[in-house]
């Protein structure tokens, strides 16, 4: 074993899944150097975490990846719309059903049929792109922007002090060990997070729901399915219950593959070890669950995993931050997990960038936990409710459900980086994207250079000030603040009446929007000293001394 010189880097990221790769990409977007280490040899080959919410698509749109994802993913359509169009073969309906067997799909119950019509909420919409395809997209963009990413590399140990983190990492291929000195460490190292465990951070929740097995298999089900399509079908067979899922088919085909499927089921490890689920045993379980005893099945892959419901009691420990599954984990119902991890990374990246550039005080980093931990708990609960409800419908569970776009886009922050009254719960019962501090800025289409741009598009890496048609005073104030602080702050005087109509601002009112698109401060009308008010607001939000 050889030891190299110490490598110094502002941020070290441990874990190269969707959360870690997103963190590397967003930090690089802000011009922050980072190093990412991932123990696996490359990005995942497993098809999972396919649903990308409109909110996550907004973040990926900001880095120029929207069209890439659209081109590489299958064409997704609302279930009702798919039926109206005559069930086109080149589109996949976003519908979750429950059936007593594949032979009884005519009587299947539609459990969930999320709306893709979010044009009133967002400049983009949800898409379907599996983790096996999204991870390389994020990796390539992060590297293009300057991130240093090494796979087949493990962090052996780390120690933190008041000034940073010192880590020892080993290239598993060469055996070469090196030391990395970083100012901050992001732990995106998964459900079992060695970093979280070494810090002694505990978790709260229902704990381990059960051990599950995901089986990728081939079987000719065309005659059985008969064109009835879905992304998920719950099969509550009393002998072998499970979930049948549409695999993320190659985009070049753009066809629903009625021969390749994914089946998931729970098992008790006290009775059966994971390795005892042979190909034939998995095939027999699938036959029982689907109600087709003579179905010919070719099992291509079987992978065990653990379904859990937990939220970390802390998302920060000094110079170390937890993100993604290391911070929060829950059942996959609702497709909230990967989206939450990417949104964690985005929230943390702009704050780290502001502190590292000297634009913000260290206390700004405390707001990562203040904002994301309540969201992590609330989303985990929504996933838990969905998982339980899909298997056992009840009116009580139905009332506790929040509509999917509320969970993914309508959530609110209460923190020191938001100047306004707090919220009793992070996920409301109905949308209120009207420019209130702590909520994402409302989506309004604007005309610019002969094209269309959304208000959501204006704050990709900087603070922006949005004001009504009589807001010239705010524009002058923004210039003064930038000149005095060096902090980029652009002002957009919006002549379009839709903006003031949606926000309820007067013609000279303004919204101060953070780099993550969330409203940080609101002035219903211009005060006598707009410059002083704006400077004070920005100083408080950024925890500037």
Q: Which two tokens stand for residue 161?
A: 């002090």
Chain mean pLDDT for the chain: 90
- Three-state DSSP state, 58: helix
Q: Which two tokens stand for residue 208?
A: 């381990």
CA-to-CA distance for 376 and 334, rounded, in angstroms? 14
Whether residues 161 and 295 share a domain: the answer is no
Mark which of 308, 330, 361 sits at the end of a domain: 308
Whether residues 135 and 227 share a domain: the answer is no
Q: How many residues does the chain have?
A: 545
CB-CB contact of 367 with 417 (8 Å):
yes
pLDDT above 60: residue 254? no
The confidence score (pLDDT) of residue 327 equals 98
DSSP 365: G
Is 17 a domain residue? yes
Whether residues 142 and 61 share a domain: the answer is yes
CA-to-CA distance for 453 and 457, rounded, in angstroms? 7
CB-CB contact of 315 with 369 (8 Å):
yes
pLDDT single digits (tens) 406-449: 999 999 999 999 999 999 999 999 999 999 999 999 999 998 88
Q: Which two tokens stand for residue 545?
A: 């001394």
The confidence score (pLDDT) of residue 429 equals 92
CB-CB contact of 57 with 177 (8 Å):
no
Mark which of 274, 308, 342 sits at the end of a domain: 308
Comparing 51-55, 247-251, 266-270, which segment has the lowest mean pLDDT?
A: 247-251
pTM score of the predicted model = 0.90
What is the rounded average pLDDT of the residues 197-202? 97
What is the rounded average pLDDT of the residues 194-210? 94
CA 226 vs CA 102, 103, 105, 189, 256: distances in Å:
10, 10, 9, 42, 12
Residue 217 CB-density burial (10 A; 0-12 exposed, 13-18 middle, 19+ buried): buried
CB-CB contact of 297 with 217 (8 Å):
yes
Mark which of 288, 308, 328 sits at the end of a domain: 308
89: domain CATH number? 3.30.9.10
Whether residues 62 and 78 share a domain: the answer is no
Is 418 a domain residue? no
Which of 127, 234, 315, 368 is catalytic? The answer is 234
- Candidates 408, 206, 223; CA nearest to 307 is 206
The confidence score (pLDDT) of residue 447 equals 87
The percent of residues in the chain predicted with pLDDT above 90, rounded, is 70
Is 328 a domain residue? yes
Is 399 a domain residue? no
CA-to-CA distance for 104 and 120, rounded, in angstroms? 37
Whether residues 40 and 79 share a domain: the answer is no
60: domain CATH number? 3.50.50.60
- Candidates 125, 108, 107, 128; CA nearest to 117 is 125
Whether residues 147 and 282 share a domain: the answer is no
Domain extent at residue 374: 3-69+129-201+314-386
The confidence score (pLDDT) of residue 1 equals 42
pLDDT single digits (tens) 50-65: 789 999 999 999 999 9
Is 304 a domain residue? yes
The confidence score (pLDDT) of residue 250 equals 42
CA-to-CA distance for 230 and 245, rounded, in angstroms? 8
CA-to-CA distance for 79 and 82, rounded, in angstroms? 5
64: left (phi over 0), alpha (psi -120 to 50) or beta: left
Tokens 């005080």 sit at which residue? 361
pLDDT single digits (tens) 11-57: 999 999 999 999 999 999 999 999 999 999 999 877 777 789 999 99
Is 438 a domain residue? no
Which ranges of 291-365 would DSSP assign to H, the alpha helix?
337-356
Buried-exposed string 223-249: b where 16+ CB fall within 10 A, e elsewhere: ebbeebbbbbbbbbbeebebbbbbbbb
Is 421 a domain residue? no
The confidence score (pLDDT) of residue 104 equals 86
466: domain CATH number? 3.40.30.120
Range ranked top by mean pLDDT from 310-324, 391-405, 448-462: 310-324
Whether residues 21 and 143 share a domain: the answer is yes
Is 315 annotated in the active site? no
Is 401 a domain residue? no
Whether residues 488 and 532 share a domain: the answer is yes
Whether residues 209 and 197 share a domain: the answer is no
Whether residues 85 and 181 share a domain: the answer is no
Q: Which two tokens stand for residue 395?
A: 């009116």
As for how many domains the chain has, the answer is 3
Whether residues 174 and 209 share a domain: the answer is no
Whether residues 53 and 149 share a domain: the answer is yes
């Amino acid at each position: 074993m050889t030891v190299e010189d110490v490598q110094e880097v502002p941020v070290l990221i441990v874990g190269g899944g969707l959360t870690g790769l997103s963190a590397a990409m967003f930090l690089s977007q802000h011009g922050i150097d980072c190093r990412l280490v991932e123990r696996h040899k490359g990005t995942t080959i497993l098809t999972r975490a396919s649903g990308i919410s409109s909110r996550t698509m907004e973040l990926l749109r900001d880095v120029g990846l929207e069209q890439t994802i659209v081109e590489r993913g299958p064409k997704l359509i609302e279930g009702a719309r798919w039926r109206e169009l005559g069930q086109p073969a080149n589109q996949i309906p976003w519908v979750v059903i429950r059936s007593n067997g594949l032979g009884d799909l005519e009587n299947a119950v539609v459990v969930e049929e999320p709306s893709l019509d979010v044009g009133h909420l967002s400049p983009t919409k949800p898409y379907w792109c599996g983790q096996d395809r999204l991870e390389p997209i994020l990796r390539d963009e992060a590297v293009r922007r300057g991130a240093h990413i090494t796979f087949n590399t493990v962090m052996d140990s780390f120690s933190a002090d008041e000034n940073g983190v010192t880590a020892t990492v080993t290239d598993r291929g060469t055996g070469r060990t090196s030391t990395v000195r970083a100012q901050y460490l992001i732990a995106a190292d998964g459900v079992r997070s060695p970093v979280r465990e070494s810090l002694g951070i505990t978790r709260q929740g229902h704990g381990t729901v059960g051990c599950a097995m995901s089986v990728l298999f081939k079987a000719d089900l065309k005659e059985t399915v008969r064109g009835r399509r879905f992304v998920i079908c719950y099969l509550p067979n009393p002998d072998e219950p499970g979930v049948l899922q549409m695999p993320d088919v190659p985009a070049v085909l753009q066809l629903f593959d009625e021969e390749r499927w994914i089946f998931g089921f729970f098992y008790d490890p006290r009775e059966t070890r994971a390795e005892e689920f042979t190909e034939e045993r998995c095939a027999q379980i699938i036959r029982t669950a689907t109600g087709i005893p003579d179905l010919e099945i070719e099992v291509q892959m079987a992978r065990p995993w653990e379904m859990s419901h937990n939220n970390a009691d802390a998302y920060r420990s000094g110079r170390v931050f937890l993100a993604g599954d290391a911070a929060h984990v829950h059942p996959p119902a609702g497709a909230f997990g990967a989206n939450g991890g990417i949104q964690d990374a985005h929230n943390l990246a702009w704050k780290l960038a502001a502190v590292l550039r000297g634009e913000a005080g260290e206390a700004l980093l405390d707001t990562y936990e203040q904002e994301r931990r309540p969201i992590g708990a609330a989303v985990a609960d929504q996933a838990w409710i969905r998982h339980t409800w899909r298997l056992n419908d009840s009116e009580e569970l139905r009332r506790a459900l929040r509509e999917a776009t509320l969970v993914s886009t309508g959530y609110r922050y209460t923190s020191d980086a938001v100047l306004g009254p707090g919220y009793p719960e992070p996920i409301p019962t109905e949308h209120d994207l009207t420019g209130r501090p702590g909520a994402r800025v409302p989506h309004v289409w604007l005309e610019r250079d002969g094209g269309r741009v959304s208000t959501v598009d204006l704050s990709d890496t900087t603070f922006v000030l949005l004001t009504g048609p009589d807001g010239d005073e705010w524009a002058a104030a923004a210039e003064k603040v930038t000149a005095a602080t060096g902090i980029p702050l652009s002002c957009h005087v919006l002549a379009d009446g839709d903006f003031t109509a949606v926000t309820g601002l007067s013609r000279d009112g303004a919204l101060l929007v953070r780099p993550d698109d969330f409203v940080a401060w609101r002035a219903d009308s211009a005060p006598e000293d707009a410059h002083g008010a704006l400077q004070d607001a920005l100083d408080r939000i950024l925890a500037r001394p």
